[in-house]
């Protein structure tokens, strides 16, 4: 049972029992003829007191995520952040209960209004690779989302190239394992694969169709689609934009990579990871990467997480990396922000991250090692140093009259290499293209 609930019950019982015995002791002091009346009053009063205590304790405990008293000392610091002189706003050295590692499921779930069928998946694959869905007949979904070992569901470009050679502004997110994400695009503006599939079709610098109606008219005019649509949607065989999106989404739900070395290790194969990768796995947790890149899909923006799918990036302002890589030029999901402020971004999955460079929303970072250093600095407020003396800090807090000791404050070159080695273990077997 959750120890917070146990504490609530314990405090409630103690208060009720104490109140009961106090009332009984008072009644025993009365004359015998008065006791019957008072005993009835005790019964009613105890019930009212118990109910009031329950309501009061529930409200009180809701204000404090940690325990009120040290009945359970092992939880005492579960939610306590390290307090540094700057207020600790950007410090992530949060002491929590041990993290539970999870393997990726062997299949992705589908919504009730779009169940998977072989016919629908086959149609979706046709549409995914068809360049005729673009305005000039040169680009398909697969143009920016290549299912290959060197592209990893992206295109390997800093920013994707649309029709007419137009340059986009954002790096193409991987389509691999996108079926497990609850919001899509870097700014999270789509909440399903079906919703996402429609966007690039009519984006003027991507596939460039003037309207979704034009997409429907184009597909309707291609004879080879008549039979596949009838097979995939027997109750509504005509071409509609919703059915186009449903078919593409059905195919994309097959593009998952559940059997990586990491998955085999978590499932019990102790030889699946090297000693260096296991050390990197431990560092990935202890450094704080799991605060955002958690769960089977290594993203708090996945369907497995009950968490906010967005994060401020960069969360540590004015680092050496911010201007070097132009991280604040794009406000992301916060269009009211100017370029001088950090953006709000969907948390990407780290599955197959070794294959999906260049990195970040603007594709400005070429190497995975550099991406790890940047994340340690701008999100976790770590320094980058090979000196052991930089790995911890001690601060006297005069207001609280106590010391704040912060550890794991620096990331060394060897630790970066270990984390990168672990991230490479997230590469899974690519799904078949047919």
> Count of residues for the chain?
434
Name 103's Cβ contacts closer than 8 Å, sequence gap at least 6.
258, 262, 263, 266, 267, 296
167-191 CB burial, b ≥16 within 10 A, e <16: ebebbbbbbbbbbbbbbbbbbbebe
Query: DSSP 3-state assignment of 357?
Result: coil
User: Which sequence positions are flagged as catalytic?
Assistant: 206
User: Token digits for 7?
Assistant: 């504490």
Contacts of range 391-400, beta carbons closer than 8 Å, 24 or more positions apart: 393/84, 395/84, 395/85, 397/83, 397/85, 400/83
Of 172, 213, 157, 142, the closest CA to residue 431 belongs to 142
Q: Which helix (H) or strand (E) holds 395?
A: strand 392-397
90-109 CB burial, b ≥16 within 10 A, e <16: bbbbeeeeeeebebbeeebe
Strand pairing category for 343-346 and 383-384: unpaired
Instruction: Tell me if 329 sits within 8 A of 314, measured CB to CB.
Output: no
Q: What is the DSSP string of 206-256?
A: TT--S-HHHHHHHHHT-GGGHHHHHHH-TTS-S--HHHHHHHHHHHHTT--
Instruction: Tell me if 278 sits within 8 A of 419, measured CB to CB.
Output: no
128-162 CB burial, b ≥16 within 10 A, e <16: bebeebbbeebbbbbbbbbbeeebbbbbbebbbbb
Apex CA 163: angle with CA 124 and CA 339, to 5°?
A: 105
Strand partners, 143: none
Of 66, 92, 64, the closest CA to residue 380 belongs to 92
Query: DSSP 3-state assignment of 349?
Result: coil
């Amino acid at each position: 049972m959750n120890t917070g609930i146990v504490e609530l019950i314990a405090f409630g019982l103690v208060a009720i029992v104490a109140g009961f015995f106090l009332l009984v002791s008072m009644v025993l002091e009365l004359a015998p003829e008065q006791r019957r009346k008072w005993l009835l009053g005790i019964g009613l009063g105890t019930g009212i007191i118990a109910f009031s205590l329950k309501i009061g304790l529930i409200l009180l405990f809701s204000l404090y995520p940690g325990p009120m008293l040290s009945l359970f000392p092992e939880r005492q610091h579960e939610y306590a952040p390290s307090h540094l002189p700057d207020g600790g706003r950007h410090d992530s050295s949060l002491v929590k209960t041990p993290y539970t590692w999870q393997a990726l499921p062997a299949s992705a779930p589908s919504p009730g209004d779009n169940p998977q069928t072989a016919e629908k998946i086959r149609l979706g694959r046709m549409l995914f690779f068809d360049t005729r869905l673009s305005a000039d007949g040169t680009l398909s979904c697969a143009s920016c989302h290549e299912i290959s070992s060197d592209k990893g569901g992206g295109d390997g470009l800093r920013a994707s190239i649309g029709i007419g050679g137009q340059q986009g502004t954002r790096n193409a997110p991987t389509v691999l394992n996108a079926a497990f994400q609850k919001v899509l695009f870097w700014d999270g503006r789509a909440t399903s694969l079906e919703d996402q599939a429609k966007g690039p079709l009519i984006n003027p610098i991507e596939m460039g169709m003037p309207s979704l109606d034009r997409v429907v008219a184009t597909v309707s005019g291609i004879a080879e689609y008549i039979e596949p649509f009838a097979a995939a949607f027997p109750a509504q065989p005509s071409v509609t934009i919703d059915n186009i999106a449903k078919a593409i989404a059905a195919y994309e739900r097959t593009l998952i990579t559940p059997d990586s070395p990491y998955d085999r290790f978590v499932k019990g194969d102790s030889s699946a990871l090297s000693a260096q990768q296991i050390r990197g796995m431990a560092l990935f947790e202890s450094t704080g990467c799991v605060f955002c890149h958690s769960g089977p899909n290594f993203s708090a923006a996945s369907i497995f997480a009950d968490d906010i799918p967005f994060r401020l990036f960069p969360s540590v302002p004015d680092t050496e990396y911010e201007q070097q890589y132009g991280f604040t030029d794009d406000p992301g999901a916060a269009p009211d922000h100017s370029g001088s402020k950090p953006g709000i971004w969907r948390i990407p999955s780290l599955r197959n991250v070794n294959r999906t460079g260049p990195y970040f929303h603007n594709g400005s970072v070429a190497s995975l090692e550099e991406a790890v250093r940047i994340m340690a600095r701008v999100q976790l407020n770590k320094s980058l140093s090979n000196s052991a003396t930089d790995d911890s800090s001690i601060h006297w807090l005069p207001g609280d009259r106590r010391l704040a000791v912060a550890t794991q404050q620096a990331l060394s070159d060897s630790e970066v290499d270990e984390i990168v080695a672990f991230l490479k273990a997230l590469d899974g077997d690519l799904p078949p293209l047919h």
